Amino acid sequence: MPGILLGDQFPNFDADTTVGRINFYDFLGDSWGILFSHPKDFTPVCTTELAFAASISDKFTMRKVKMIALSVDSVEDHNVWIKDVMALNNSSAALPFPIIADSGRKLATLLGMMDPDETDREGNPVTARCVFVIGPDKKLKLSCLYPATTGRNFDELLRVIDSLQLTAQKKVATPVHWRPGDKVMVLPNIADDEVTKLFPNGVSTKEVPSRKKYLRYTQL
């Protein structure tokens, strides 16, 4: 399980990366951040993941989200592997986000990223496919932990970030399969006399057998 929980202050750290030494808080500034680990450089699933992440990096930038990756490899290995990653996109450009080198596994252990069931050729444990979304307040907003055998869906991560950013500003929740532009749900703790002021576009209520008025929808 991740070493930190939702709402916790995300630890600050200094690390060596493919763009030099960074301080994590300085790197984020006042932006949102997504930190995602992969098990190992020069492996098939990891290569497809980072190649796709690179191909849609502008979509994260549009949302003011800074991306940064991590694995237990060295900076030197990262820099060689990046060429393979970008070649999958038929590009020789630089990777549009840094990769943290954590060969000592200290940061991955601190953050609960290690996969106990996966090891490298030397028998050393590697990082799972962990995802952390960090808000501008430096608090953890979302965490996901995938095994090494399962690649992530970065389109879904964008959808989740859209929901996190919306619900951080509005007193709403997003229902199943929500996409930007869809109706959202009014939070259950919003009293009826507040609804008109908060949601001038109106609110519709779905009738259910319990007759409880908790399924309230609005269009923002």
**Could you confirm whether 162 is annotated as catalytic?**
no
Helical (H) or strand (E) element with 114 = strand 114-119
Q: Residues 41, 46, 102, 115: which is the catalytic one?
A: 46
Distances (CA, A) of 77 to 3, 46, 74, 193: 27, 14, 5, 60
Pairing of strands 65-71, 203-205: unpaired
Nearest to 153, CA basis, from 52, 54, 73: 52
Coil, helix or strand at residue 23:
strand
**Could you confirm whether 193 is annotated as catalytic?**
no
Q: Residues 137, 155, 182, 192: which is the catalytic one?
A: 137
Q: How many helices (H) and strands (E) does the chain have?
A: 7, 13
**Could you give the residue numbers annotated as active site?**
46, 137
